């Protein structure tokens, strides 16, 4: 099962992708997480990606595609995966398509988690992430058991640098210009499914499970 999560930044792609990965036993692959891990480790890739991420811009396609193709080529991806945050541009989608077609494979579902812009800014300002394990919470909607502390590993939660309001509006603009066209791209391939991302996360997941199991 090869799944792509589409949607604006903060729509809940990561939250749902983790739930899909848990239930259907496929790896959750987030290019954003890969970049953040590299930034944390101070790698060359991390330093390059940070220049763009901090400004709310996309990391160049060439670099992103290389990382992604390398990751989906790993052994644990043989039975599928859920991609979160990739592709984000038409050229990225085309490269992925071609790489899959060369192996006689294709994407099974592109799930668009639909959330209007008005809700996004609130979602992002309340998002808190664990710098150690990558778990995400929301101060109002999905709070950790102890305020500011990760349920899973006990580390202090942080507000992502690129979730500050100035950067969020830039990221939304970039989303509408460069990523939203993917909705038509996958619709034309007949694999697009849309879920209402404004519902509570369990309800969103029920809608996704219904699609995957239909
Ligand atoms: P994305 O991966 O699309 O950027 P996230 O999954 O990190 O988005 O979700 C963004 C924020 O919204 C997080 O703080 C998350 O806890 C919260 N969130 C996710 N899904 C929902 C939901 N259905 N309702 C309310 N808040 C949600
Ligand atoms: P995310 O965690 O998915 O919100 O991604 C955080 C940031 O990483 C984005 O705002 C981009 O700067 C960068 N990024 C993640 N995935 C991609 C991608 N597929 N293409 C370009 N940039 C990306």
DSSP letter, residue 199: S
pLDDT of residue 161: 87
For residue 65, what are the β-bridge partners?
none
Which residues, including other chains, have CB under 8 Å from residue 134's CB and lie 6 or more apart? 30, 33, 36
- Return the SS3 of 196: strand
Task: Respond yes or no: is residue 128 known to be catalytic.
Answer: no
Report which ligand 2 atom has the smallest distance to the Cα of 31. Answer: 16
Whether 127 is in the pocket of ligand 1, judged by its Cβ within 6 Å, is yes
Nearest CA to ligand 2 atom 6: 32
Which residues, including other chains, have CB under 8 Å from residue 29's CB and lie 6 or more apart? 68, 71, 72, 77, 81, 82, 83, 84, 86
135, 26 in Cβ contact below 8 A?
no
**Alpha helical stretches, state H, the chain:** 13-24, 31-41, 44-53, 61-72, 90-101, 117-126, 165-174, 181-188, 201-213
DSSP letter, residue 3: E
- Token code pair at residue 93: 């989608």
pLDDT of residue 52: 97
Q: Which stretches of the chain score pLDDT less than 50? A: none
Whether 138 is in the pocket of ligand 1, judged by its Cβ within 6 Å, is yes
- Tens of pLDDT, residue by residue over 166-198, are 899 999 999 999 999 999 999 999 999 999 999
- State how far the Cα of 169 lies from the Cα of 180, in Å rounded to an integer: 15
pLDDT of residue 165: 86
Whether 86 is in the pocket of ligand 2, judged by its Cβ within 6 Å, is yes
pLDDT of residue 104: 93
pLDDT of residue 211: 98
CA 33 – ligand 2 centroid, Å: 8
End-to-end CA distance of the chain: 13
pLDDT of residue 83: 98
């Amino acid at each position: 099962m090869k799944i792509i999560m589409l949607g604006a930044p903060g729509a809940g792609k990561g939250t749902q992708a983790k739930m899909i990965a848990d239930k259907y036993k496929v790896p959750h692959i987030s290019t954003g997480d890969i970049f953040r891990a590299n930034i944390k480790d101070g790698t060359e890739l991390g330093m390059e990606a940070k220049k763009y991420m901090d400004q709310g811009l996309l990391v160049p396609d060439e670099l992103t595609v290389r990382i992604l193709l390398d990751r989906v080529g790993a052994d644990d991806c043989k039975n599928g995966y859920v991609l979160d945050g990739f592709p984000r541009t038409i050229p990225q989608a085309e490269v992925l398509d071609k790489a899959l077609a060369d192996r006689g494979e294709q994407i099974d579902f592109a799930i668009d988690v639909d959330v209007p812009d008005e809700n996004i800014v609130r979602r992002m300002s309340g998002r808190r992430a664990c710098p150690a394990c990558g778990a995400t919470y929301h101060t109002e909607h999905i709070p950790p058991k102890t305020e500011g502390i990760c349920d899973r590993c006990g580390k202090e939660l942080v507000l992502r640098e690129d979730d500050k309001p100035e950067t969020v509006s830039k990221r939304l603009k970039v989303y509408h210009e460069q990523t939203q066209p993917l909705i038509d791209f996958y619709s034309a391939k007949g694999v697009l499914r849309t879920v209402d991302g404004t519902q509570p996360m369990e309800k969103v997941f029920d809608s996704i499970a219904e699609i995957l199991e239909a």
